[in-house]
Structure 1
């Protein structure tokens, strides 16, 4: 008999949730992670009494009551509602695109006025493309213009997207933006999901609860002693980079990454909102996160005399950096399919999560997927 039923490589949300469900099923688990902390990209550091999301903002949202009840059985979630702001050259707009946005953009007051303005701009773009013999969008720019028109695209999409991807919108495939939700109501709630919030006390509470009484080892690199880990477990749950697992035999997958410039400021309230996106092309960062607004509301904001902000800079991933977003273009999709064909033949390995599946994941679908595995 092996020492463990599962060696789980990676202590992020996928690994921690899998370990929790496996332990509940009576399995013996060891969770290892090469970082010096548990939680993966959910990890928070408490600075000046504020839980700082060290790897970018994470907002939990779902319409699945079972998933919502599950995470709240581990730690209670608050009522945080994601309502980001866009800053375009000093002018502020509400996101997602809704009647507040359209009033700020054009001064319109009714849904019919807003819809007429959008349709007028979409029609002009469509006529121009038809005149040029273009039957369907060839790139992200043309796709976005056909969805929301010139004004919204140029002020709220173009600069932000080009900074995020490090490429011109005309060089990005159209399928990246399949749809852009336009809401003809005065509602700044970014998500349509029924439930959303942040764990009270930060995401470390969620991870600690999931991994309670489960053996863990941080600062432990799977690849430095791979044969040992494989020898002491019946199965490996791998949440790292799938191309690294196979020693890059087909080549390296590409990622975008994010650099964070963190500041502690001597003010109780810097920007009045958790998330402000900078959608112009001149501002080098994509957004500023003010972390206290995820968990402090009303009078509590001023009771904490300092605040912590993080400026986010999107850049190309290089070896040694933390990979964040898969580059889902044709080249990388084809490369990933080669690795997946190898993974599908494995009997004793489960590949899961954004790096192992080369797929961007929200948090709730990860939990939903693992619950189904054990069901």
Structure 2
């Protein structure tokens, strides 16, 4: 059978493309090397709880077009992301706001908090930050850096903050209001029933082949369709001819607990370096669950090597330069469309992926 499009990757980008192409009467074959659809937003039911298998995914956007588009596939609840940070048994609210400053310094007014931050910035004497540590201290002072940024960042990147470039932290959002809502976006929530059923609706008119590696079956698959939509790693597509792009990866350790409520919040960050994981996710709180048991997941950052799941592109000068060479090749392709975070070597939130997919659809069809 001949298809109009072979879509490599059943994640958000590929699934939206398949849905929109199907609406226009096109035949799509969607393949994925994993045993499930939905990519990294895959949710799996355990103890009647929708478990975010690849880390917490909280939908948020200020783009009304994106929000109204995604509503056709799921009803969203009113979940608001308000993570808590733990540092040596001390609890702090995130993002940095008046609650955090009161917990740190017992200050009650914005003026007192600003004064304390400015005093610490001045005491640091840093005028030209040379690394991430100096950049962070020059933005928020020593206390916030030491307790809430240093250890977490070093775990996340696998390097000392003194060795990391200052541009990683261009700014640190500081709020002088008592507001624990992590995102500033107008719309926010979790799809009721999880993300997987949302992707199922997008793929309802496509043929799906799971456990299918594009690179192992490249010749056969290539002949099946007029065009390819590729959402995997762009350097792998071109056989790493300019080198291997770098990523940070994650590993997850999940556990079912015989208790109703383990930590009282969906996301708790652990900011001290000595604790190896960066956060614990308690999945039931994303959907206000009242199940008798709970499922928690510890998230461990790790160095990426080929074969690991790539999560965060390391967008330093060397990698960005290498990506531009791959991008140049991609732009010359007439029968291949590249899309999504791996193909574009860019960290995208879900709403960004939807924006990119809809733009791609417009260019391809409209």
Category of TM-score, reference length = shorter chain: over 0.9
Partner of 2:83: 84
Matched, 1:315 2:299: no
- SS of structure 1 residue aligned to 2:285: helix
Partner of 2:361: 374
TM-score, normalised via structure 2 length = 0.97
Cα deviation, residue 229, structure 1: 1.8
Matched, 1:169 2:161: yes
Matched, 1:129 2:129: no
Cα deviation, residue 260, structure 1: 0.5
> Structure 2: any 5+ residue segments left out of the alignment?
none
- SS of structure 1 residue aligned to 2:306: coil
Matched, 1:340 2:327: yes
Contact 2:132/2:167 (CA < 8 Å) preserved in 1? Answer: yes
TM-score, normalised via structure 1 length = 0.94
Cα deviation, residue 72, structure 1: 1.1
What is the rounded CA distance, in whole Å, between the counterparts of 2:319 and 2:113 in structure 1?
Answer: 39
Partner of 2:48: 49
Matched, 1:38 2:25: no
Matched, 1:147 2:134: no
Contact 2:77/2:287 (CA < 8 Å) preserved in 1? Answer: yes
Partner of 1:265: 257
Contact 2:10/2:32 (CA < 8 Å) preserved in 1? Answer: yes
What is the rounded CA distance, in whole Å, between the counterparts of 2:171 and 2:337 in structure 1?
Answer: 32
Cα deviation, residue 370, structure 1: 1.6
- From 222, 236, 250, give the equivalent of 2:214: 222
Partner of 1:213: 205
> Structure 1: any 5+ residue segments left out of the alignment?
131-135
Contact 1:62/1:364 (CA < 8 Å) preserved in 2? Answer: yes
Matched, 1:20 2:7: no
Cα deviation, residue 339, structure 1: 1.2
Contact 1:160/1:279 (CA < 8 Å) preserved in 2? Answer: yes
Counterparts of residues 97-112 of structure 1 (less than 5 Å): 97-112=96-111
What is the rounded CA distance, in whole Å, between the counterparts of 1:129 and 1:150 in structure 2?
Answer: 11
What is the rounded CA distance, in whole Å, between the counterparts of 1:183 and 1:22 in structure 2?
Answer: 43
Matched, 1:276 2:268: yes
Contact 1:8/1:29 (CA < 8 Å) preserved in 2? Answer: yes
Partner of 2:57: 58
- SS of structure 2 residue aligned to 1:224: coil
What is the rounded CA distance, in whole Å, between the counterparts of 1:319 and 1:369 in structure 2?
Answer: 26
Contact 1:75/1:209 (CA < 8 Å) preserved in 2? Answer: no
What is the rounded CA distance, in whole Å, between the counterparts of 2:316 and 2:147 in structure 1?
Answer: 25
Larger displacement relative to structure 2 (186-195 or 218-227): 218-227
- SS of structure 2 residue aligned to 1:15: helix
Cα deviation, residue 129, structure 1: 3.0
Contact 1:138/1:174 (CA < 8 Å) preserved in 2? Answer: yes
Partner of 1:74: 73
What is the rounded CA distance, in whole Å, between the counterparts of 2:228 and 2:198 in structure 1?
Answer: 23
Partner of 2:317: 330
Aligned alpha-carbon RMSD (Å): 1.1
Deviations 1:256-285 (A, max 9, x none): 111111110000000000000000111111
Contact 1:13/1:366 (CA < 8 Å) preserved in 2? Answer: yes
What is the rounded CA distance, in whole Å, between the counterparts of 1:358 and 1:368 in structure 2?
Answer: 16
Partner of 1:243: 235
- SS of structure 1 residue aligned to 2:254: strand
